[in-house]
Amino acid sequence: MPFLKRTRLSLLEVRALIKKIFIWTTIIALISLFFLSRKELFAEAFSADKPAMSFPEKLTEDGCLGLNYHRVQDDALFVKSARTVLQSNELVQYSVLKSEFQAQIDALVEAGANFLNEEQLLKAKEDGDFPEKCAWISFDDIDVSVYDNAFPILKEANVPFTMFVIAGQVGNKDFSNLEMATWDQLREMKDSGLADFGSHTFDMHRFEGETPVFLVPGQADAFREDLKKSVEMIESELDVTVKSFAYPYGNTNERVARILKEQDLEAGHILAPQVIRPADDNYWINRVIVNQTTFDDVLLPYLEKN
């Protein structure tokens, strides 16, 4: 019966093995030092203990909570690792995990939230009569994570929501490193009876220098055309009526608000750490960016008390 022979390593092979061990040990040590050196950064990383936006004061006034989301990411290990390591606005401010979103919707339902769609929100605001525990959920941009991860949860819970669409980027598989939802996916969400739609520009969701391009002086005519084009495309593709606009990056000015009025839109939505109040200007309607810390520390306690 054949047997295995024991072989001796030559001196050169031993040296090569030692060299490989040394190289890998050095690499591991350097990686460890890198992580240790950035310990403070990791301690501040996404959603562990950092709110998505600053709240100068607690939410105390009566009104409706406008909850805004962008990405609802998978709970895959690489996503969790990336958001622990990286300090980018995309991960720090604009994303929640699917498990977090599920827990948030469950908590809102348990707390007795009265979910409104946008039409109901604007009507209640006009009447000055929001229901108790009022909440309105919106999404900006609309990448595939909204369809894949958020929509099934909202559908199961029968919760209405509004999507603000970058009309010219629908179906783009690489918009700022995001895969955008397709028109067919948007139609499926619309057909659920839960989704309504607004504009988030046609193709002006970008910066010129340090300023959102739609806010740059001299861009008024370009914005008018972009807004008109976006509304027409969304209405044509989805067979809906577009009544509102969400300002990219969450801010606006009087010139842009006037353009919305000129084009017969009923509302414009900003990002601000306040509830929606009846007296607020319809073209500066507040929405709060949600992550788990903001939800736990600010939003759910407010809803439970009102």
pLDDT digits (tens, 9 = 90+) for 36-71: 343 333 333 333 456 778 887 778 889 999 999 999
Q: For residue 202, tell me if it sits in a domain.
A: yes
Single out the residue of 181, 149, 154 nearest to residue 165, CA to CA: 181
| pTM value surpassing 0.95 | no
Considering the domain architecture, whether residues 26 and 95 belong to the same structural domain is answered as no
pLDDT of 17 above 60: yes
What are the tokens at 95? 């994303």
- What does the pLDDT read at residue 27? 63
Which tens digit of pLDDT belongs to each residue from 162-209?
999 999 999 999 999 899 999 999 999 999 999 999 999 999 999 999
Q: For residue 87, tell me if it sits in a domain.
A: yes
> What letters, b where the CB count within 10 A reaches 16 and e where it falls short, cover 180-203?
bbbeebbeebbeeebbbbbbbbbe
Which tens digit of pLDDT belongs to each residue from 162-173?
999 999 999 999
- What does the pLDDT read at residue 3? 36
Considering the domain architecture, whether residues 169 and 285 belong to the same structural domain is answered as yes
Considering the domain architecture, whether residues 121 and 16 belong to the same structural domain is answered as no
Q: For residue 79, tell me if it sits in a domain.
A: yes
For the chain, the domain total comes to 2
Considering the domain architecture, whether residues 34 and 74 belong to the same structural domain is answered as no
Considering the domain architecture, whether residues 247 and 296 belong to the same structural domain is answered as yes
pLDDT of 97 above 80: yes
> CA-CA distance, 271 to 259, in Å (whole number)?
19
Considering the domain architecture, whether residues 35 and 58 belong to the same structural domain is answered as no
pLDDT of 240 above 90: yes
C-beta contacts of 104-112 below 8 A and 24+ residues apart: 104/290, 104/292, 104/295, 104/300, 105/153, 105/154, 105/157, 105/159, 106/157, 107/295, 107/300, 108/135, 108/159, 108/300, 108/303, 109/157, 109/159, 111/300, 111/303, 111/304
Helices 220-238 and 254-262: crossing angle, nearest 10°? 40
Considering the domain architecture, whether residues 24 and 157 belong to the same structural domain is answered as no
Window from 41-50, 87-96, 147-156, 270-279 with minimum mean pLDDT: 41-50
Single out the residue of 165, 181, 154 nearest to residue 244, CA to CA: 165
Q: For residue 4, tell me if it sits in a domain.
A: no
- What does the pLDDT read at residue 12? 66
CATH number of the domain within which 69 lies: 3.20.20.370
pLDDT of 125 above 50: yes
Which tens digit of pLDDT belongs to each residue from 228-238?
999 999 999 99
Q: For residue 239, tell me if it sits in a domain.
A: yes
- What does the pLDDT read at residue 210? 93
For the chain, the average pLDDT equals 86
> CA-CA distance, 191 to 206, in Å (whole number)?
30
Q: Stretch 234-248: mean pLDDT, rounded?
A: 99
Q: Stretch 206-227: mean pLDDT, rounded?
A: 96
Considering the domain architecture, whether residues 120 and 249 belong to the same structural domain is answered as yes
Considering the domain architecture, whether residues 107 and 142 belong to the same structural domain is answered as yes
Considering the domain architecture, whether residues 280 and 146 belong to the same structural domain is answered as yes
State the residue range of the domain holding 31: 11-42
Window from 35-44, 149-158, 237-246, 247-256 with minimum mean pLDDT: 35-44
Considering the domain architecture, whether residues 24 and 89 belong to the same structural domain is answered as no
Considering the domain architecture, whether residues 228 and 168 belong to the same structural domain is answered as yes
> CA-CA distance, 153 to 54, in Å (whole number)?
27
- What does the pLDDT read at residue 48? 40
Q: For residue 71, tell me if it sits in a domain.
A: yes
Q: Percent of the chain at pLDDT above 90? A: 71
CB atoms < 10 A from the CB of 20, how many? Answer: 10
Q: Stretch 107-128: mean pLDDT, rounded?
A: 98
